[in-house]
């Protein structure tokens, strides 16, 4: 046999529905539930950090059980030298394999899915942990994830009345607000983050900051804070919260440059202080306990979301006849 691999370039991935935020949210939520109930295996990711190249590569394997039954991994990379060269910062690809034969059957461009599912993950954190009387959100960082987060928060927290967006690059924030001028929840670019955050029920950070900049004093005492960039917020925002949630404890403490990893290495936070959001989504753990609480959620990203979404896109692509088929071999040399 000649095993077939469907190759999906970025244009195919878009055509297959990668920019469909409603689907992304549904699949991301499904991944969290399936992981909590044991139908999905999401091992801790493994990273290769090449400081001399200002780049890193992360391997994120997952097995999805349930009806679909697929194994796969995302190879997620970021290269800071890409800035200003017309190459995206994040360069990701995903491979899907048949869990019975181990044959790969899809290879796709995955950077768009990464940004979409990261935004969805942030919005799910807000959805499950925010006060139900929340009115305003401040989104910090207006890059690719920040852009998608406007879509995700609008769908996942529809009762909000306003979204304020902030970026160090003020014209970028203003241009993004203009792009979303007809959004179902009004979007406004702000120039003073502290002022905006101090009156926000929900704050979501997704910046490329290398050093923590967001301060606990900027938060309302009963706010919901979601951190998606690895080290956007100061340690107090996490250990000073009444309730702390993470996406994957063992993964997040493995990131020594990340806020939670640094707190763990300093002996300031333990597993027992935190709850993994998946259990809240599956109804197996309590979410926000009181409308008076400060609640923080930190995420470094789950391969489970990438693989479950990639499989949906594969099915869509097959149905639409998208992509290019390549063969792994004409005949295997050794059988």
Ligand X SMILES: NC(=O)c1ccc[n+]([C@@H]2O[C@H](COP(=O)([O-])OP(=O)(O)OC[C@H]3O[C@@H](n4cnc5c(N)ncnc54)[C@H](O)[C@@H]3O)[C@@H](O)[C@H]2O)c1
CB of 302 to ligand X, least distance (A): 7
Nearer to ligand X, 258 or 323 (CB): 258
CB of 103 to ligand X, least distance (A): 29
| CA separation, residue 165 to residues 25, 159, 178, 237 (Å) | 21, 17, 11, 20
Nearer to ligand X, 251 or 312 (CB): 251
Element (H, E) at 148: helix 144-156
Task: Measure CA of the first residue to CA of the last residue in the chain; give whole Å.
Answer: 11
Nearer to ligand X, 5 or 108 (CB): 108
What is the binding site for ligand X (CB under 6 A)? 89-90, 114-115, 118, 121, 140-146, 167-169, 172, 206-209, 213, 228-230, 299-301
Q: What are phi and psi of 26, to 5 degrees?
A: -60, -45
| CA separation, residue 253 to residues 20, 24, 44 (Å) | 32, 26, 10
CB of 154 to ligand X, least distance (A): 17
| CA separation, residue 298 to residues 6, 87, 222, 237 (Å) | 35, 28, 17, 10
CB 151 within 8 A of CB 21: yes
CB of 193 to ligand X, least distance (A): 7
Nearer to ligand X, 121 or 222 (CB): 121
CB of 31 to ligand X, least distance (A): 12
Cα 4 to Cα 24: distance, rounded to the nearest angstrom:
26
CB of 105 to ligand X, least distance (A): 25
- Beta-bridge partners for 90: 78
CB 279 within 8 A of CB 121: no
Nearer to ligand X, 169 or 327 (CB): 169
Shortest-Cβ-distance residue relative to ligand X: 143
Q: Which residues, 6 or more positions from 323, have their beta carbon under 8 angstroms from its beta carbon? A: 6, 7, 8, 9, 12, 317
CB of 33 to ligand X, least distance (A): 18
Q: Which residues, 6 or more positions from 332, have their beta carbon under 8 angstroms from its beta carbon? A: none
Nearer to ligand X, 71 or 122 (CB): 122
Nearer to ligand X, 207 or 275 (CB): 207
């Amino acid at each position: 046999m000649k095993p077939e691999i469907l190759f999906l370039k970025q244009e195919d991935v878009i055509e297959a529905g990668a920019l469909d935020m409603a689907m992304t949210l549904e699949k991301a939520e499904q991944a969290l539930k399936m992981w909590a109930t044991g139908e999905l295996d999401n091992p801790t990711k493994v990273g290769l950090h090449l400081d001399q190249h200002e780049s890193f590569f992360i391997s994120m394997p997952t097995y999805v059980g349930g009806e679909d039954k697929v194994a796969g991994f995302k190879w997620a990379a970021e290269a800071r030298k890409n800035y200003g060269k017309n190459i995206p910062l994040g360069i990701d690809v995903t491979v899907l394999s048949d869990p019975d034969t181990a044959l790969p059957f899809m290879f796709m461009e995955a950077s768009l899915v990464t940004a979409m599912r990261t935004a969805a993950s942030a919005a799910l954190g807000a959805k499950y942990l925010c006060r139900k009387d929340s009115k305003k959100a401040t989104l910090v960082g207006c890059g690719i994830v920040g852009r998608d987060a406007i879509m995700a928060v609008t769908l996942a927290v529809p009762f909000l009345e306003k979204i304020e967006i902030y970026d160090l690059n003020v014209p970028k924030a203003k241009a993004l607000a203009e792009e979303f001028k007809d959004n179902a929840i009004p979007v406004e670019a702000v120039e003073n983050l502290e002022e905006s955050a101090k009156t926000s029920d929900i704050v979501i950070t997704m910046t490329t900051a290398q050093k923590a900049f967001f301060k606990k004093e900027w938060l309302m005492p009963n706010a919901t804070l979601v951190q998606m960039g690895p080290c956007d917020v100061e340690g107090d925002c996490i250990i000073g919260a009444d309730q702390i949630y993470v996406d994957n404890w063992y993964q997040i403490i493995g990131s020594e440059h990340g806020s939670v990893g640094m707190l763990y290495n300093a002996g300031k936070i333990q597993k027992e202080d935190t709850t993994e959001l998946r259990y809240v989504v599956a109804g197996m753990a309590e979410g926000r306990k009181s409308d008076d609480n400060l609640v923080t959620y930190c995420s470094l990203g789950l391969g489970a979301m990438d693989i479950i979404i990639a499989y949906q896109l594969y099915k869509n692509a097959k149905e639409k006849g998208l992509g290019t088929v390549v063969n792994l071999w004409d005949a295997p040399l050794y059988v």
